[in-house]
Structure 1
Amino acid sequence: MLEWLKGILGESYTEEIDKKISAEIGTAFVAKADFNAKNEALKAAQGQLAEAGKTIEGFKALDVEGIKKAAAEWKAKAEQAEKDAAAQVAAVKFDALVEGAITKAKGRSPKAVKALLDLDTLRASKDPEADLQAALGELAKSEGYLFDTGETPPPYAGGTGTTPPAGGQDAALRAAMGLPAQGTK
């Protein structure tokens, strides 16, 4: 174990001396590997301590009131975004309700029917479905042409408006322009 000791002690060297010296060295000295490991751990801890000190200095420079104010502003923005999203969802649902009701009432042009409805009043209504049905019923009575009622229009009266005016097809046009009838000069 302690080969270097044999060289120093020469013939006086014994196993008992080797054991005593080994035991004494273990209590008074630290192995080189253990020393290097502890030394590296110390350097790492000192580096972390220096970094923590810099971070603490950075925190000292922070404006806590400004951060609180910014947090309150972001909270208000988030609440407003939630309200806006809820309003958009409600608008889409209302538009779908109106479109569905117009289709159910056999509206020919949903755009034209919507233009004649008071959508703001219907949006504010406590029972928009019932009020929408009532409004569409009223509109169907007053503006029936916007709805397909299933009734067929009166048949075309054949022969009306097909007789050319007297004096040929161009006579009325010539008279309107102040020209003499065709054939006269």
Structure 2
Amino acid sequence: MKTDFLKGLGLEQDAIDKIMAENGKDIAAEKAKTTKVEGERDNYKSQLETAMESLEKFKDVDPTTMQGEIDNLKQQLKDKDDEYAAKEADRIFSDTIKEAIKTAGGRNEKAVMAMLDMNALKESKNQSEDIKKALETVKESDAYLFGSDEPFKNPVGATGGSGTGGDNFSAIRAAMGLPAEK
């Protein structure tokens, strides 16, 4: 809208200025909307170009080969998981055996473990009971591998130097250079 058009209608200058100001606000709002839409359009164009370039890279890819490679990688991951699970199970089994040997009073874990049928114990359904039974069997056949759990049968008495077994305090006081106690 132009000012000359409004003057031709016979409007006063004050009314024309107000109309033009309001019209300017509407035009500015529409320009802002247009600028926003143009920015979005440019963004979509850029995304489309990037997508087209990415798709161009896959133009010569064979899907069956790609699927075979994906399956191969999945199998490798499964194999690694199985290997880790087996190692963890072996570690837990080994720790269980060692703890049972300590509890049974074994003197040397390696020597006692050499006497056990580890494969049979590993495949056992009730491992803790079978380990205890196997350790009892080894304890009976090779008792030297285990510490003695019976009390000492030869107690040691006083080993005083006087032989009388009498007043030990007097001997101690004399050794320290103190007078005899009265």
What TM-score does the superposition give when structure 1 sets the normalisation length? 0.61
Give the count of matched residue pairs.
144
- Once residues 35 and 101 of structure 1 are traced to their aligned partners in structure 2, the CA distance between those partners, rounded to angstroms, is 81
- Once residues 83 and 90 of structure 2 are traced to their aligned partners in structure 1, the CA distance between those partners, rounded to angstroms, is 10
Aligned partner of 2:10 among 14, 17, 29:
14
Deviation at 1:70, TM superposition (A): 1.6
Q: In structure 2, do the counterparts of structure 1 residues 133 and 70 end up closer, same or farther at CA, with 3 Å as the change threshold?
A: same
1:82-123 CA-to-partner distances (Å, cap 9, x unmatched) read 211221221122112111211121111112111221212211
Give the fraction of aligned pairs with identical amino acids, expressed as a percent.
27
Quick check: which has more Rg, 1 or 2? Answer: 1
Deviation at 1:61, TM superposition (A): 2.9
The one-letter code matched in structure 2 to 1:14 is: G
- Look up the match of 1:113: 112
Could you list the runs of 5+ residues in structure 1 that have no partner in the other structure? 156-185
The one-letter code matched in structure 2 to 1:139 is: V
Query: 2:128 matched to 1:129?
Result: yes
1:57-102 CA-to-partner distances (Å, cap 9, x unmatched) read 2232333222211211121112112211221221122112111211
The one-letter code matched in structure 2 to 1:83 is: D
Deviation at 1:148, TM superposition (A): 1.4
Q: In structure 2, do the counterparts of structure 1 residues 54 and 103 end up closer, same or farther at CA, with 3 Å as the change threshold?
A: same
1:14-49 CA-to-partner distances (Å, cap 9, x unmatched) read 339x7xxx8xx9xxx996555555544443333333
Deviation at 1:144, TM superposition (A): 1.0
Query: 2:75 matched to 1:76?
Result: yes
The one-letter code matched in structure 2 to 1:47 is: S
- Look up the match of 1:67: 66
What TM-score does the superposition give when structure 2 sets the normalisation length? 0.62
- Once residues 9 and 130 of structure 2 are traced to their aligned partners in structure 1, the CA distance between those partners, rounded to angstroms, is 115
Q: In structure 2, do the counterparts of structure 1 residues 51 and 143 end up closer, same or farther at CA, with 3 Å as the change threshold?
A: same
What is the root-mean-square deviation in Å for CA atoms of aligned residues?
3.6
- Look up the match of 2:52: 53
TM alignment of 1:1-185, pairs within 5 A: 2-3=2-3, 5=4, 12=8, 14-15=10-11, 36-151=35-150
- Look up the match of 1:181: none
